[in-house]
């Protein structure tokens, strides 16, 4: 699964990396412990250009009766997107990019202990996790736009840490993923393969990352040894 991630780079770096032309003042601030239920930066394509906005992490399907289903839909398995009613239509028509520069996973060290790990690209650059979004209207008429992060099988690096990892898109595949005219599900699912392990690395970080209230630069610093 993917339950925590980071996006510590600047607003301008975000705009340049994802070809976004914005005229309004920047609102993005570096974030070191992004968690489900929070609003997260996301990118969609409106038919003319890429747009940056915020979606709440935890999908609420448009037809859902209750808002609380979001807590069960922070991740969507790539292999079963077409089998789940909540994901089928968004997969075909409402795809987004969730930018990040790292994500956290907990590595088992024994029967009782776990070590949080931060997984990044070796160049420490931004990458895009494949996401889906939807818009839900509450019984009171409030509109909430939400998202889920797609997960896939682990690569060789991640297999030693966890049995799932976020589906990270290669930069050359991002435009196809965002293109709402593309509805060939076989071609889209082919993009959701494990990212090359040789381009990534993982290192241990503070257990303080386990508390969603903690939000500070020290969370991404390498800590000690796994031995």
Cα 73 to Cα 104: distance, rounded to the nearest angstrom: 18
Cα–Cα nearest to 33, from 221, 215, 223? 215
| Size of the chain in residues | 227
Tokens of 80: 């079963």
CB of 116 closer than 8 Å to CB of 104: yes
Cα 35 to Cα 209: distance, rounded to the nearest angstrom: 10
Cα–Cα nearest to 15, from 5, 6, 27, 3? 27
From 2, 96, 147, 174, the catalytic residue: 2
Task: Give the bridge partners for 55, in sequence order.
Answer: 40
Q: Is the dihedral of CA 120, 121, 127, 128 positive or negative?
A: negative
Cα 57 to Cα 183: distance, rounded to the nearest angstrom: 24
Active site residue 96: no
Work out whether strand 127-137 and strand 143-152 pair parallel, antiparallel, or are unpaired: antiparallel
From 92, 96, 105, 172, the catalytic residue: 105
Q: How far apart are the first and last CA of the chain?
A: 25
Catalytically active residues, by annotation: 2, 105
């Amino acid at each position: 699964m993917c339950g925590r991630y980071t996006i510590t780079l600047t607003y301008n770096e975000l705009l340049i990396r994802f070809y976004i032309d914005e005229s309004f003042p920047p609102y993005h601030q570096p974030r070191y412990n992004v968690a489900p239920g929070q609003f997260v930066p996301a990118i969609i394509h409106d038919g003319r250009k890429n747009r940056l906005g915020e979606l709440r992490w935890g999908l609420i399907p448009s037809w859902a009766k209750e808002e609380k289903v979001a807590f069960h839909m922070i991740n969507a398995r790539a292999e079963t997107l077409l089998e789940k009613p909540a994901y089928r239509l968004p997969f075909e028509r409402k795809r987004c990019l969730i930018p990040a520069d790292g994500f956290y996973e907990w590595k088992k060290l024994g029967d009782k202990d776990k070590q949080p790990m931060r997984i990044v690209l070796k160049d420490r650059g931004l990458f895009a996790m494949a996401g889906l979004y939807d818009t839900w209207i509450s019984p009171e008429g409030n509109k909430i736009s939400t998202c889920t992060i797609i997960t896939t099988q682990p690569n060789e690096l991640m297999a030693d840490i966890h049995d799932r990892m976020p589906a990270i898109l290669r930069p050359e595949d991002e435009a196809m993923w965002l293109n709402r005219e593309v509805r060939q599900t076989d071609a889209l699912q082919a993009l959701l393969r494990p990212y090359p392990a040789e381009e990534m690395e993982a290192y241990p970080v503070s257990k303080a990352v386990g508390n969603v209230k903690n939000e500070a630069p020290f969370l991404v610093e390498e800590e000690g040894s796994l031995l």
